[in-house]
Structure 1
């Protein structure tokens, strides 16, 4: 495989991925602060939505760890080992069996599993049926297995050639991991969106205020954002292009951003406050679920009552 076939040089790809990941990481940090502020401002500790806080903190820690590892790799490849590593920086970044690269892949796996698990949990809360999430759970387990095997074979790669990421056992597990991640997120998000859409149709003729379409839109936006990233990774892998390294590093902060944007945008919309816990986390409102009807105010009756009160007075 020639260099033209694999796209940009690896040192260039690493610099580009670090810069782009840093930009997205900055956005994710701001959105993390916004998420924590929304769910903790003027609230006692016992009233804080703890599942949201825990998941938000975990995503922040994982994305921060990934960013720190990437910065360390850039410093090692371009500064510390620039003149001592055989082949220079390009050969250094091509060595996928380095501990830092393997650790970075493990962090990516954990964040991917956490992000997909959140979507599957939302499906369980909204559908209130374990049978609906059987297939997504099986796909999630397959993602975990493929991702773990990918990390293992990266650490056992006999050569330091970047082509091993696209070939041999490592390449096969990488392809399976990326494809299953894309399919799991798309399928789970589709189930969630379909359920909310059907509920919206039921209440559309009787509601007296805005429905839950804002929830549907923000969930679809988050799913599209994450799915586009995974689809780009699949295309780069199919073409054995080094752009896969760039897209792969950008996916980590994208997972966090997709998670945070759901909570922030729904919390801002005052008409959907009662649906936050049910659709996004499943706490607080899980006993009632998503209401299938809206109360209709008897406007005429109320007006008549007011007139009677005025007459009697």
Structure 2
């Protein structure tokens, strides 16, 4: 299968694909940084520093991966004078650039999975019982990643990653666990938010019988988490498929996956912040008719005089709740959804 797509072509295409994806990532990174540090009033009083740290670490690794890819292309097609030409240089699985790109791929995937576990942990009110299984799966991924990096760094053979038999068991395990972990944590997060959202809706009266209630903010959050989470999961699946069939397309897909992890992280923060600061999703109805009343001025002598000044008085009743706040939710639990993302 790798013969139909030579490694030289695969590496060139991979650099192009990652460069395009990295351009998209930079745009989302700038917007994400602005969202974390600023709001409509200016610099935020409370900054979510854990998210800032994750954003910076992801930016470092994503930028490093693109830079290493360019370095590898230059070495293979310009500087390398050894046997086999560019293909011979690319075949050196333990070349330091190959090893560092493997480190980038593994670390970015582990960070992305770790953020999913963290969000699940926070949304379930810091429940270790809920987080136990995802954490164990994540630790298994860490073990597989360590073995993948060690084998890549110490093998010193002229073979492609997709053809190395020693790597296959750990690569298969890593991708299988990652996919299962993504589906598990995303499903738990969505289930919890939907449960709370249904509880909140039960306390909100509809505008009229048979009318369709507008979507709440939490429903928008559910859609954001599913869409952004599935973007990353899709590329993990594609990388796994390329590995299974032994295709050199794994270079391009895996390089894109490194950057996609950062894009998914940024999009969740950007879109959830936009939803949190948007007007209430429910319609606002007037509970009393608007009217105008003359303004009576009281003189010191006790008399009154009526002037042609009118004050518009209206009363609006908001039938919606903001984030969920009612008796069925623990104190402070509604803040978990926004702090987790």
> Post-superposition shift, 1:39?
2.1
Contact 1:7 1:243 in 2 (8 A): no
Match of 2:244 in 1: 238
> Post-superposition shift, 1:5?
5.2
1:213 to 185, 209, 219: 219
Equivalences for residues 93-112 of structure 1 within 5 A: 93-112=90-109
Alpha-carbon distance in structure 1 between the residues aligned to 2:279 and 2:8: 47
Alpha-carbon distance in structure 1 between the residues aligned to 2:21 and 2:204: 39
Contact 1:189 1:223 in 2 (8 A): yes
Contact 1:236 1:244 in 2 (8 A): yes
Aligned CA distance change for structure 1 residues 100 and 287 (closer, same or farther; 3 Å): farther
Match of 1:183 in 2: 180
Alignment length, in residue pairs? 276
1:204 aligns with 2:210: no
1:249 to 248, 252, 255: 255
> Post-superposition shift, 1:287?
6.5
2:144 to 146, 153, 157: 146
Alpha-carbon distance in structure 2 between the residues aligned to 1:100 and 1:287: 51
Contact 2:13 2:252 in 1 (8 A): yes
Match of 1:8 in 2: 5
Match of 1:18 in 2: 15
Quick check: 186-195 or 266-275, which moved more?
266-275
Alpha-carbon distance in structure 2 between the residues aligned to 1:77 and 1:233: 24
> Post-superposition shift, 1:161?
1.1
Aligned CA distance change for structure 1 residues 291 and 144 (closer, same or farther; 3 Å): closer
Contact 1:113 1:140 in 2 (8 A): yes
> Post-superposition shift, 1:49?
2.0
> Post-superposition shift, 1:289?
1.5
Alpha-carbon distance in structure 1 between the residues aligned to 2:239 and 2:167: 15
Alpha-carbon distance in structure 1 between the residues aligned to 2:55 and 2:335: 27
Structure 2: tracts of 5 or more residues without a match = 206-213, 281-321, 324-329, 337-341
Equivalences for residues 52-201 of structure 1 within 5 A: 52-81=51-80, 84-128=81-125, 129-162=127-160, 165-201=162-198
Q: Which has the higher helix share?
A: 1
Structure with the greater alpha carbon radius of gyration: 2
Q: Describe the SS at the equivalent of 2:334.
A: coil
CA RMSD of aligned residues (A): 2.2
Q: Deviations over 1:95-121 (max 9, x none)?
A: 211011101111221111111111100
Aligned CA distance change for structure 1 residues 5 and 66 (closer, same or farther; 3 Å): closer
Alpha-carbon distance in structure 2 between the residues aligned to 1:225 and 1:40: 25
Alpha-carbon distance in structure 2 between the residues aligned to 1:99 and 1:178: 23
1:289 aligns with 2:286: no
Q: Which has the higher strand share?
A: 2
> Post-superposition shift, 1:291?
7.0
Contact 2:96 2:153 in 1 (8 A): yes
Alpha-carbon distance in structure 2 between the residues aligned to 1:19 and 1:179: 27
Alpha-carbon distance in structure 1 between the residues aligned to 2:218 and 2:85: 55
Contact 1:266 1:272 in 2 (8 A): no
Quick check: 238-247 or 249-258, which moved more?
238-247
- Scaled by the length of structure 2, what TM-score is found? 0.76
Contact 2:117 2:134 in 1 (8 A): yes
Alpha-carbon distance in structure 1 between the residues aligned to 2:17 and 2:2: 23
